[in-house]
Amino acid sequence: MNVDTLIVGAGFSGSVIARLLAENTKQKILVIDSRDHIGGNCYDYVNKFGIRISKYGAHLFHTTRQDAWNFISAFGRWERWEHKVLAKIYPRDVSDHCIYVPVPICIKSVQNLYDSSVQSEDDIRRWFAEETKAVKFQAPYKNSMESAVARFGNRIYNDFFHSYTFKQWGKFPEHLDASVLERIPIRYNNDDRYFTDPIQMLPSGGYTEVFDQLLDHPQIEVSLNTDYFHERHCFNGVNFTVFTGPIDGYFASRGLDRLEYRSIHFEEFTFEMEDRDAVIQPASVVNEPSMRVPYTRIVEFKQFLNQQSPYSTLVREFSTSNGDPYYPVPNERNTKLYAIYQQLAEKETVKERRKVLFLGRLANYKYLNMDQAIGNALDHWQQWIKDGMIKIH
């Protein structure tokens, strides 16, 4: 096979490396993906109702990494978009009466749900001090329950995090690393945006257009519906492989226990609307922390970039342990097991004459946002140059 580098996976991790190699070397690059499309989990398309849908759940780009943004903004077309999320809370969890409150918790959330006298930063700081004063947990926290109760107090923990996390992960927060709930900040002001990063964008032509352009280079060939695990033998002659699939799949023949992942089952509904601007729910994403419903959130895709359509498509997300691997599950068992896979990966990377790099959310078994996946690929590239592994033309 006349290929210098094989890249397994056409998500951001694989596609960014492919582009860097193509632009800076004379190498021929083959990108394969087992799916029938490029873009990995960021793949999107316009449905028959004229609404852009992300096949694997809503994707909001946000970053503080200027280098990642400088790189990716050269592909596709991007527009600023500040994401907002509301959680649907049933105050006494007995009636059908519900309140929509902003997540992350900010002054407005506390006002609407618990204490209307909270108006200022001083008020909300005092309010949280009161909520958490009886909490005994101290850093370093052993798990997500401890870290969340210590920061938010028991009321918010129970209303927002306990059940949602169980629905999302199949485990209560006490069985997950502290890092899971540490992702959620507290806002001591009235900023109800989901992210505060200076760079918050959505691609107006969709993520798939970004990937089309990333991979559009005469030195890059893309082969879809090609599963590395089935076709591995065809690639023995390749000098270098970048593997962005699940690391436990790569080493399946070693007979170790498998790593745990969460997947999502998506249920789609489309409604005819009265006019092209009309929407159904009060925010693009409504989280459902209550055990009353089995899904975690509902996404109304039309709201992203204010799309116009006489219809609206909503997608409910049900978390499940079966299906495509999306989320690595961060707990003690998986961290220990991943360390063993990581050792195998390090050996494989330096094994004589067969160089392999393990990169991305699945190969590094790490909860990575898009900018982190792009940033990691850029960091690896810089390291290769430093180590003299790449001849730049």
Q: Note the residues at the interface with ligand FAD (CB under 6 A).
A: 8-14, 32-35, 40-42, 56-61, 227-229, 244-245, 264, 326, 360-362, 368-371, 373
Q: Which is nearer to ligand UDP, 19 or 187 (CB)?
A: 187
Q: Which is nearer to ligand UDP, 27 or 287 (CB)?
A: 287
DSSP secondary structure string for all residues of 238-303: -SEEEE-S-HHHHTGGG-PPPPPEEEEEEEEEEEE-SSTT--SSSSSEEE--STTSS-SEEEEGGG
The correct pick among 98, 135, 184, 238 for binding ligand UDP (CB under 6 A) is 184
Q: Which is nearer to ligand UDP, 41 or 313 (CB)?
A: 41
| Angle separating helix axes 207-214 and 12-24, nearest 10 degrees | 30
Q: Which is nearer to ligand UDP, 76 or 289 (CB)?
A: 289
3-state secondary structure of 231: helix
User: Which of ligand UDP, ligand FAD, none binds 161 (CB below 5-8 Å, type-dependent)?
Assistant: ligand UDP
Residues composing the chain: 393
Contact indicator for 112, 221 with CB cutoff of 8 Å: no
Near ligand UDP in 156-175, by CB under 6 A: 160-161, 164-165, 168
User: Which of ligand UDP, ligand FAD, none binds 315 (CB below 5-8 Å, type-dependent)?
Assistant: none
3-state helix, strand, coil in the chain (%, to 5): 35, 20, 45
Report if residue 98 touches ligand UDP, rule: CB under 6 A: no
Q: Determine how β-strand 240-243 pairs with β-strand 220-223.
A: unpaired
Report if residue 103 touches ligand UDP, rule: CB under 6 A: yes
Please give the Cα distance from 194 to 185 (Å, whole number).
9
User: Which of ligand FAD, ligand UDP, none binds 103 (CB below 5-8 Å, type-dependent)?
Assistant: ligand UDP
Which residue, chain included where needed, has tokens 């949280």? 128
Which residues would be at the binding site for ligand UDP (CB under 6 A)? 87, 103, 160-161, 164-165, 168, 180-181, 183-184, 287, 289
